[in-house]
Amino acid sequence: MPARATDARRAAVLGKPIAHSLSPVLHRAAYEELGLAGWSYDRFEVDEAALPAFFQGLGPEWAGLSLTMPLKRAVIPLLDEISETAAAVDAVNTVVFDADGRKRGDNTDIPGMVAALREHGIEQVGSAAILGAGATASSALAALSRVCTGEVVAYVRSEPRAEEMRQWGRRLEVDVRTADWSDAAEALRAPLVIATTPAGTTDALAAAVPERPATLFDVLYEPWPTELAARWSMYGGAVVGGLDLLVHQAVLQVEQMTGLAPAPLEAMRRAGEQALAAR
């Protein structure tokens, strides 16, 4: 049932650490734009051990939750159902509470990545490269299963990580080849490069950006731009940033939690940009 402006509903983002999260800024901007004066969105620092008790304490006023690390897999046993998208990567970042009390899990990171790419004109590529092999890399692979028609090369630091990426490739039906991180500069010549590594990891690669780079999707949004993204832009390449991903996945969360669509993408993006500038 679509939300009413007079409803007193609650939502929040959970994770640990959580103080840095921009989700409250984005969701509150959406509520304001949609006229949902009775809605609130908070943040709570919760780890895996505390998650079941947190769920037990939720009342009927709760509409939904956003989840970040380390809860995306830990939440699955607490849910009544999860979407095919979430099941594909064993990761839930969105929980919606139905009127009958059922708890549904979804993953908006994957369609959020696809939407962010499409916003920048990337509908399909023949091949791609992924820098890193963590949880975000598996979501990137799932997104590439929708936009990449050929091989994906994942640049990783260890053989166990390489095998994980090959396993994800088989599961997601993506043609994955792995390469050692020492050769990561080669990735920068791909039609689409997705950087999924922590802050600072790709800084050393900035000097290897080719003269005519194609498209870089760097999932970081703080600090921004990264050294790699700055050099990429300087050379005229297209750059999709972490804020693009954050906003697009939050748009989908707002639509699911409130039942109102479309969510106000531009208002949410402006709020995010202003919050980052204020930091």
- Measured distance CA(112)–CA(100) in Å, rounded: 28
Backbone angles phi, psi at 206, to 5 degrees: -55, -35
Q: Which H or E run contains 131?
A: strand 128-131
Altogether, the residues listed in the chain come to a count of 279
Q: Which H or E run contains 144?
A: helix 135-147
For residues 158 and 181, the answer to whether their CB atoms sit within 8 Å is no
The pair of three-digit structure tokens given for residue 4, joined into one six-digit string: 């009413």
Residue 16 annotated as catalytic: no
163 C-beta neighbours (distance < 10 Å), count? 13
Q: Which one of the listed residues 9, 10, 43, 72 is annotated catalytic? A: 72
- Measured distance CA(247)–CA(115) in Å, rounded: 10
- Could you tell me the end-to-end alpha-carbon distance of the chain, in angstroms, rounded to an integer? 37
Torsion of CA 121, 125, 128, 133, to 10 degrees: 70
- Cα–Cα distances (Å) from 142 to 4, 106, 240, 266, in that order, read 34, 14, 17, 26
Listing DSSP states for 92-108 in one string gives --EEEE-TTS-EEEE--
For residues 166 and 176, the answer to whether their CB atoms sit within 8 Å is yes
SS3 178: strand
Closest CA to 256 of 94, 79, 37: 94
For the annotated catalytic residues, the residue numbers are 72
